[in-house]
Structure 1
Amino acid sequence: MIDLRLLREDPDRVRASQRARGEDVGLVDALLSADERRRSSGLRFDELRSEQKSLGKLIPKATPDERAELLKKAEQLKSDVKAAEAEQNDAEEETRRLLLQVGNLVHEDVPVGGEEDFVVLETHGTIRDFGAEGFTPKDHLELGEALGAIDVERGAKVSGSRFYYLTGVGALLELALVNAAIAQATEAGFIPMLTPALVRPRAMEGTGFLGQAAENVYHLEKDDYYLVGTSEVPLAAYHMDEIIDADKLPLRYAGFSPCFRREAGTYGKDTRGIFRVHQFDKVEMFSYVAPEDAEAEHKRLLDWEKQWLTALELPFQVIDVATGDLGSSASRKFDCEAWIPTQGKYRELTSASNCDGFQARRLSVRMREGKKVQPLATLNGTLCAVPRTIVAILENHQLADGSVRVPEVLRPYLGGRELLEPISK
């Protein structure tokens, strides 16, 4: 959540951020009003409680005549205090309800607009000219089926659309990707983590996934648990309600977990193959840093993602995501998009988001420096979303005979194998 003090001091900045996101600007004034009510009702409650305590000290010393009058006044004060407390609690609840609806303040350098208004910052690698090589590229599903690596028909039979099996070399390729990604992250100083896939409501709400993103979250109503769409959620909640000494920062974790997404609103989009699915595995980087180090850490996360995609020998571009496509928690987000030959365009493989103190305030994760205690900053970055990475590898490294060249970084995790070969003609 945003800092209420900043809201009071510079409401126009919050209004501008809401406007850039395409969100309700009127929410800012409603929140200001609720906050004023919260503060005034809190002051009223404190004044009445103080008066009540003072009166309580006078009663034992009063004469019989005075005591009767004081007791009458005490009874009225008791009623007033109870009403003031109810008003204070109601105002605090309303303030928090509205506060949870306001997105993070967008960074001043973020391009304004919707999904298509991103800015390309960099391009890396060379896009292959398959025509010059004398063949037409196959898509990842055709390649995967020939390799005995992907089975979407049985995935749909068992679980429905957008589910799949990775079989044979497909399963081995996932394990190779995960091991190589964790190896890179560990070398960079991240602590490997295997995280829960089920979390309580506070963890999901605290990371910002129960607002505009709620439609894509699976909820187990009977037990009131949520299936995570990313290990960002349990990693952000790992230090919930804790105070971390500043000299222990940064804390960096690399989480591996299954991820679940309803993909609401994507009917008819990316239905072929495994690019957009309901369940997948992912390696996610997560950092806790001091607020003043957040921007530098954001660039470091992006550099690690670029290192990973370069090691996989994939052509990709880096984009600065526009304000309307940030999600509520991020102040700025960089995506790395890999070239997908059969689609003829770049598609998102990784994301790196700076959430500043937004999630930390919601989850009460703070840092202590001397006598000062304040929210720290959290950041997250996808290192390897497995199915999409498999899509990019199969399509970009395919050969004319239907085999697929294995990037060198993965070969040690595939028994030295250099090629994935079709199991049948």
Structure 2
Amino acid sequence: MSGSHIVPLSMKNLAAYGLMGFPLAFAGLPVYLHAPDFYATVLGQSLTSLGLVLLALRIIDAVQDPLIGSLSDRFHGQRSIILVLGVIMLGAGFWMIFHPLESNPLTWFASAVFICTTGFSIVSINLQTLGGIWRASQNDRTKITSWREAFGLFGLLVAAISPTLLGSTINPAEGFHRLTLLYLPVLCLAAWLLLRWMTRADLQQSALSADGHTGWCQLLKSPWRRTFFGIITLNTFASAIPAVLVLFFIRDRLGAPEQSGLFLLVYFSAGILAMPIWLQLSKRFGKMRSWALSIALAIATFFWAAFLQTGQVEAYAIICALSGLALGADLALPPSILADHIAADKRQAEAGRLFACMTLLSKGALALATGLALPVLGIAGYQPGILMTADMDMTLSLAYAASPCILKILTLIWLLRQNQF
């Protein structure tokens, strides 16, 4: 798997590695957004049952990440085989989700989503690990993560519009059948390019060190890692709150539900376009300072969303664009910073577990935001879709925009106070 020379960071090599980010990101929206609606409307399944199944599977998905990371590190010599297994599970599960067994759709749905999300986690964790142990300079590591995350954002954009385009004149079942026919060749192409890249890439891998078998407590004894993962968790939690509430805010506060797709397009497109900018800023000012700058930008721009009134769609589009610029740094810089630490501390043998830990904490923060945001709003009197009062307008605005900014301010203070960064 390791070559005898350093692979230049050409566009060809970066694309061969990063393209897998496209099908990984593409899978998320259909599985968690479109599939429940499909099973509820077409197959008549209870939304409550579907929600409980997804909640249980999200918990399992997060908890199994450390195990996947540990096994991937332990069998690092067979990482290509592990990736092939993950790709097969991801593709098979995705196909199963949109080709249901009509005699028992709920059980089929649970099994298919479990297979799909497990495959997703296997591929995602190992893809991040490969980027983290690819022998490269500190600046080039940001380029590696930027390419991967830019492909991921592009995958999100395509996934957002594909079901509508494919199913505009046909029934949903046929539309999602065509979606899988589009998805599987792209997944296979990305896997083929990644496996070819692995045969020539110089990957800094070594056997497990003495503490590689001692568990997660030993691995997280480092103050740097505890601080870094703590900042990641708080920052992700802050970002997850508006992600959970965005459609409610657009519909019930702005009164522009028909524009929601356009707002998301602006946001994610800005994130893609910002990747080269953050790469240059990180070269000039360092990754931690650039990350802090992006958080400050997110606070300064997104704070104004709390003051928007009904119908101010142009102002909100500008906020989406500017906060989308900050998204590019949030996606590209933290994995690059962790890769720098792995190289400096010679932790390549635990790279899979460290990236799995970052994934676990990010998923946990998203689950926490999902579990808190809507119940808290419900207690405060907000109910989606009903006629809004002035008090409910303020409550939704504060929850959607003000509370994430407060959390981002705390994240920024914590980040700036860490002298070791």
When the two structures are superposed, what TM-score results if normalisation uses the length of structure 1?
A: 0.21
Structure of greater Rg: 1
When the two structures are superposed, what TM-score results if normalisation uses the length of structure 2?
A: 0.21
Greater share of helix: 2
Higher relative contact order by CA 8 Å / sep ≥ 6: 1 or 2?
2
Greater share of strand: 1
